[in-house]
Amino acid sequence: MKGPFETLWFLAVHFAILSLLAFGGANTIIPEIHRQAVDVAHWTSNTEFADLFAIAQAAPGPNTLIVTLIGWYAAGLMGAVVATLAMCVPAALLTYAANRLWERFNEASWRITVQEGLMPVTVGIVAASAFILIRATVHGLPQLAVASATTLVSCTTRINPIWTLAAAAILGLSGLLGVSHG
- HSE-CB at 179 with a 13 A cutoff on CA atoms is 11
Rounded CA-CA distance 27/53 in Å is 11
Rounded CA-CA distance 50/66 in Å is 10
Which residue of 12, 22, 33, 82 would you call a contact of another protein, by CB under 8 A?
A: 22
Q: Does 172 bind another protein (CB under 8 A)?
A: yes
DSSP reduced 3-state for 59: coil
**Nearest distance from residue 39's CB to another protein, in Å?**
21
**Nearest distance from residue 6's CB to another protein, in Å?**
22
Burial degree of 58 (CB within 10 A; 0-12, 13-18, 19+): exposed
Cα separations in angstroms, 125 against 29, 121, 140: 18, 6, 25
- The piece of 6-14, 31-39, 79-87 that touches another protein (CB under 8 A) is 79-87
Residue with smaller CB distance to another protein, 1 or 155: 155
DSSP letter at 158 equals: -
Q: Does 155 bind another protein (CB under 8 A)?
A: yes
Q: Does 101 bind another protein (CB under 8 A)?
A: no
- The piece of 5-13, 34-42, 160-168 that touches another protein (CB under 8 A) is 160-168
Q: Does 149 bind another protein (CB under 8 A)?
A: yes
Contact 109, 119 (CB under 8 A): no
Residue with smaller CB distance to another protein, 1 or 77: 77
Q: Does 13 bind another protein (CB under 8 A)?
A: no
**Which of 32, 43, 47, 37 is CA-nearest to residue 73?**
43
Which residue of 5, 45, 95, 104 would you call a contact of another protein, by CB under 8 A?
A: 95
**Nearest distance from residue 1's CB to another protein, in Å?**
20
Which residue of 4, 45, 105, 154 would you call a contact of another protein, by CB under 8 A?
A: 154
Which residue of 40, 57, 108, 141 would you call a contact of another protein, by CB under 8 A?
A: 57
Q: Which residues contact 150 (CB under 8 A, 6 or more apart)?
A: 161, 164, 165, 168
